Structure 1
């Protein structure tokens, strides 16, 4: 087992603001041959071929949310993934579709 601190290269703060519900998707025509990228970075990029939330990515990587945010932010900084702004309804609540998706993903974790 490798500690999250090691998997982030000792970094604890992401360069991007990423909520747990923030959706991330991969830029499909990006080369990931940068030596700085790890297996975790590549897994995030591959997983994000379909949009994933920060929380979903953390769960798939088996990492605390803070460590996942650091790794995701690396890919945002490189232009390999994009962050989708969260849309709120007129009542300043997330759309029902998002809430259903979160509920379903949480249920999958159980």
Structure 2
């Protein structure tokens, strides 16, 4: 698709900036899976045909998760609200497209883990 500026695909890139988060998630605010910000996801078996069938936002998450990455990192790297990332990653996991790695402290946060998360977020701000 070519836009007035002549850049192929430019309209597709801009769509994410104009569309409301609830439209991306179908109005859902809660993911199917419990996904903490430190939860790691990855693509177990990359399917080169799958991205073509995904919305641009889900496609970007799928491509970025080809290497193990946290929910927080996906949100920051793709400039998507954390809630949207959680819902879309949960949908991809339900399809078997991404794997959500078990979190050792899924229900019990210790100070050391929270400190590492805070340090990582502070480094991202620099």
Aligned-CA RMSD value: 2.7
Q: Which runs of 5+ in 2 are unaligned?
A: 1-17
**For 2:62 and 2:112, how far apart are their aligned partners in 1?**
25
Q: Go from structure 1 to structure 2 and tell me whether the alpha carbon gap of 1:52 and 1:105 turns closer, same or farther (over 3 Å shift).
A: farther
The answer as to whether partners of 2:51 and 2:59 remain within 8 angstroms in 1 is no
Q: Do structure 1's residue 10 and structure 2's residue 20 form an aligned pair?
A: no
2:51·2:62 contact (CA, 8 Å) conserved in 1? no
Which residue number corresponds to residue 40 of structure 1?
A: 57
Displacement of 1:49 in angstroms is 1.3
Structure-2 change in CA distance of 1:68 and 1:58 (3 Å): same
Aligned length: 106
Partner of 1:73: 90
TM-score, length basis structure 1: 0.76
Of structures 1 and 2, the one scoring higher in RCO (CA 8 A, sep 6+) is 1
